[in-house]
Amino acid sequence: MASLKEIKTRIGSTKKTKQITKAMEMVSAAKLNRAQGKAESFQPYTEKIREVVASIAQGSEGASHPMLEDRPEIKKTGYIVITSDRGLCGAYNSGLLRETMNLIEQRHSSQDEYGLVVLGKVGRDFFKKRNMPIFQEITGLADQPDYSDIKNIAETTVQMFNDEVFDEVYIHFNHFVSAISQRVTEEKLLPLTTLAKEAAAEEASGPTPNYLYEPDPETILERLLPHYAESLIYGSLLDAKASEFGARMSAMRSATDNADNRIDELTLSYNRARQAAITQEINEIVGGAAAQN
């Protein structure tokens, strides 16, 4: 059984740990509010670009672009995987990486059939450890990233699709559902065939906005489609950041609760040990007094 001094030391160290986890929970909650607001404010911008591109794709005869069409043969698939740079966020990274690995193993029999674009140190280290093909990587992103922070990697990824390095590109990230819930999500980034299907469905369901284009629709698609794909990457990053802070806040809250429970257990053990020591001392005094009589 541990001594009174050892138990007291454990209680003290656990209280210090609780202070740290509580502070991290509060910091993560503040960062979550900012990240959630930034993600929500960016959404209308992406939606408007999608609306314009869909209108051009559906309303202009002869207007087409390779980014809107499936390729007849898929030789190599690209995966953009968004993880965090740090841990202490529960299953935020492990769930995402496990799902990504499962999908890659199901779809591909060789590393020649896919390539990875990784955002985040945890994902970078995970894939490097397994000698998987990483085409691009970026780490050390700010908690509230700007588009300029990922502009180069987003442009390069889209260009690799246009250059047929990749024949399709998926993006994997944790979608923000609520402060305590995140969902591992895969979205097909390129080609933008889903966009064309959505535009057709909207056109069939009712009237759509009528735009006048200058210059011609083909030129606008040539400039706008890459930018739209890049904005989807940035939007997914903002969504993932909100999810990261929500996961870290929940993990730190759980750690704080566990620290409280541990302190209660140690305090009870301390009181029992102290009572046993006092009882032992009383017995020794009584025994000594009895021996003298």
pLDDT over 90 for what percent of the chain? 58
Q: What pLDDT is recorded for position 249?
A: 94
Helices (H), 87-192: 92-107, 121-129, 147-162
Q: Is the pLDDT of residue 225 over 70?
A: yes
Q: Where in the chain is the domain with CATH 1.10.287.80?
A: 4-23+251-283
**Assigned fold of 26-249:** Pyruvate Kinase; Chain: A, domain 1 (3.40.1380)
Record the tokens describing residue 13, joined without a space: 């160290």
Q: What pLDDT is recorded for position 179?
A: 84
pLDDT digits (tens, 9 = 90+) for 199-208: 555 555 656 6
Name the more confident of 270 and 115: 115
Average pLDDT over residues 145-169: 92
Phi, psi of 79 (to 5 degrees): -125, 120
Query: Is 286 assigned a catalytic role?
Result: no
Q: Where in the chain is the domain with CATH 3.40.1380.10?
A: 26-249
Q: Specify burial of residue 132 (Cβ count, 10 A radius: 0-12, 13-18, 19+).
A: middle
Q: Is the pLDDT of residue 103 over 90?
A: yes
Q: Tell me which of 53, 68, 89, 266 is the catalytic residue.
A: 89
d(CA 79, CA 126): 14
To the question of domain 4-23+251-283 being in CATH 3.90.1150.10, the answer is no
pTM of the model: 0.86
**Nearest-10 crossing angle of helices 217-292, 147-162:** 130
**Reduced 3-state DSSP string for 17-75:** HHHHHHHHHHHHHHHHHHHHHHHHHHHHHHHHHHHHHHHHHHHCCCCCCHHHCCCCCCC
